[in-house]
Structure 1
Amino acid sequence: MFSGRWYRSPRTVEELSELQDLERMLSEGNMAQNSDKWVWDDGAAGTFTVSGFKELIREGVNGMQDLHMKWEGWVPIKVNLITWRAERDRLPTRVALARRRINNPDVLCPMCSVADEDIRHLMVGCEFAYGVWTVICKWCKLDPFFAYDYDDLLMLYKNVHAGKWRKKIIRGIVMIITWVIWNTRNAKVFQNSSTNIIDVVAEVKSRSFLWLKHRSKFKSIVWQDWSSYPLYMCL
């Protein structure tokens, strides 16, 4: 059955058994006359698509988790990734590090020193974060809302009515706030930098303006109008 210089007789009982198993599988196989082709085994039409692959990941990896994040193209990938990690509680907050048994004697929030720093406290419960969200809601002219967890912030765009881009802009702003708060926290922890709510809000406004202007269809947005109301061009 086998020929060629590469083949040698089996030397052990295990090799002989493996060879017999291989011969049995080959003899039981049904060789068709059709040409070979690649098939994407996703239980659907058998055609690979990026969107189908993403959906397969969400269903298979995330299981029963109720995830709300939607990736935004006008926001840089690094900002999307921070939001993705925050929703899954995969940012190395002090509580997360302690949970991984990394020695850290202080688990208090570096921004307020009032409560333990987990992702919920850092982004929602901390008075510093609360101040940032309060100013941003006024800037976006959104009604005051109560956020119990970080997921509630990801759903903030639902308070915006009419227009796909209005929702996309709010989703992106939420991501940028998450990114800026996390960077501000890191600067406080590793560089002992001092900051305030006004500085964080100013950075959110400027970065979101630049990214939307250069990464979306809104090439002609004006800073003066944007700094007053970020949805002015979607009215």
Structure 2
Amino acid sequence: MEQDKDCLIIDRIFNGQWAWNWSNKLGVHNSSYLNEILLEISQVNVQVDNDKCIWSLDDDSTFTVGDLRRLIEDHLLPSLDTTTTWVKYLSHKVNIFMGRLKLDKLPHRLNLSLRGIEILEISCLSCCGMVESNQHIFFECEVAKGIWRIVRRWCDNSFPIFESNVHWLHWWSSWPVSREKKDRAYVIIATTLWFT
């Protein structure tokens, strides 16, 4: 409790009661207003306690980045399939690349053009002149098709010829094999896409 040299109480609550240290007299009107306010707040029970932050969006009241990410995905992006696959056998940059590929957020010529960046040519320069998009770069381009043929042969043709990113993700998620085998296939496919 702070007190000045004359032991006058500074404006605050003291022993559950308001204590005032006015420098000027209030006058009749202001005194009646103060009494009305004090009457209205007389039922308020003020307790002194330590402040603490509580994360109210989780059952155990603790904040985690994962909880916040799920909250944003659930409430701000309800129409998108934003579930991310994170495989521990892949490097962070490949996992991030796969997430960006899934959301079509890679900086290929079509996406750069759609973002307003002036590009002289949005067609693929390595083969047939088709528009450079995720679909073309990773699945339709003759170079990509050749890479996929080699990888499929190396894997004993254990997976189909993929037509798109959606196609391979759907195949992978519905493939009825063990988790270990799925993870191995994901690593092979993600690595192939990364190096394509």
Q: State if a TM-score over 0.5 links the two structures.
A: yes
Alignment of 1:160-171 (within 5 A): 160-171=175-186
Aligned to 1:116: 131
Aligned to 1:62: 77
C-alpha displacement at 1:108, in angstroms? 0.8
- Alignment length, in residue pairs? 156
Aligned to 2:93: 78
Higher relative contact order (CA 8 A, sep 6+): 1
C-alpha displacement at 1:36, in angstroms? 2.9
Against the structure 1 CA distance between its residues 61 and 169, is the aligned structure 2 distance closer, same or farther, given a 3 Å change threshold? Answer: farther
Measured in 2, the distance between the counterparts of 1:61 and 1:111 equals 39
Amino acid at match of 1:178: L
Measured in 2, the distance between the counterparts of 1:157 and 1:90 equals 21
Q: Percent identity?
A: 26
Q: Which structure 1 segments of 5+ residues have no match?
A: 3-26, 182-235
Segment of structure 1 superposing worse, 66-75 or 47-56: 47-56
Aligned alpha-carbon RMSD (Å):
2.9
Match of 2:160 among 126, 141, 144: 144
Measured in 2, the distance between the counterparts of 1:37 and 1:55 equals 24
Measured in 1, the distance between the counterparts of 2:91 and 2:104 equals 20
Match of 2:190 among 168, 175, 185: 175
1:94 aligns with 2:109: yes
Amino acid at match of 1:74: Y
Alignment of 1:28-43 (within 5 A): 32-42=47-57
Q: Which structure 2 segments of 5+ residues have no match?
A: 1-10, 13-40
Query: Which structure is larger by alpha-carbon Rg, 1 or 2?
Result: 2
Scaled by the length of structure 2, what TM-score is found? 0.65
Provide, for residues 192-226 of structure 1, a one-character-per-residue CA deviation record: whole Å limited to 9, x for no partner.
xxxxxxxxxxxxxxxxxxxxxxxxxxxxxxxxxxx
Scaled by the length of structure 1, what TM-score is found? 0.56
